[in-house]
Each structure stands twice: as structure tokens, then as C-alpha cells.
Structure 1
């Protein structure tokens, strides 16, 4: 699989990741790694929660869109 963003510019570069948002292939220059906290139950009771930080990989356009959305939410106080 080749990088979708580079292909749009007429370049052929191998993908090293798949965007978790849109599924496009992304090369080393176009991939944007981020982290995400996942809350999950611990033990037998769902009242006790733990947080595990995981890695998410996004292509450049999805990363820009997510960052803009999170910035807008922060501006609204949410």
C-alpha cells in the first residue's frame, strides 16, 4: 500500500501506517501519532475504572480536522 496523501501529489511512497479515522495509508512524513485514553472496568465491578493510554495513528488531513475540532470544543469550554 502506498501513502494516499503522497499519491495525490504524484509521489509514490510506501505506507507505514493506516489512519485509524479514514483508513488511508500514510508514509513516515504524513503519519501523525497521537494518544487516546481508554476507560475500562477493572475486576468484577464496573464501578471501578482504569485508564489505559493507547496509540492512534492519523493521516495529515484527519489529524488537522481532529485538532481543529478539539480546539473548537476547548473554546466552548467542553
Structure 2
């Protein structure tokens, strides 16, 4: 699979990850990695799980989520 962003720029690069929102293939130059706490409903509230989960996003989705 090739990077979607590179393809849009007229280049070809191998994708190393997939955006967790839009599922576009991404090369290392076009991905954003962020960490998030995992929260699960339990009983009368929520439980936060550690360690933080890794999440890969493309630039467009990262900006949209602000």
C-alpha cells in the first residue's frame, strides 16, 4: 500500500500505518501519533485503563479533531 498524501502530491512512498479515522495509508512523513487514556463504562461510572493507547492519525483528521 502507498501513502495517500504522497500520492496527492505526485510522489510514491510506502505506507507504514493507517489513519484510525479515515483509514488512509500513511508514510512516516505524513502520520501523527498521539496517546489517549482508555475509558470503559463499569457499574455506575467509568474506569480509566493504563497505559495510554497509541493512535495514528493523518494530518487532516488530526487538525479536524483539534
Structure 1 residue aligned with 2:63: 64
In structure 1, runs of 5+ residues without a counterpart are 68-78
Q: How many residues get paired? A: 64
Partner secondary structure for residue 29 of structure 1: helix
Q: How far 1:3 sits from its partner (Å)?
A: 0.4
Q: How far 1:5 sits from its partner (Å)?
A: 0.5
In structure 2, runs of 5+ residues without a counterpart are none
Tell me the TM-score normalized by structure 1. 0.72
Say if 2:47 is the partner of 1:49.
Answer: yes
Query: What do you get for the CA RMSD once the two structures are aligned?
Result: 1.7
**Greater percentage in helix:** 1
Structure 2 residue aligned with 1:6: 6
Tell whether the 8 Å contact from 2:37 to 2:48 is kept in structure 1 after alignment: no
Structure 1 residue aligned with 2:34: 34
Measure the CA separation in 1 of the matches of 2:4 and 2:12: 9
Moved over 3 A (4+): none
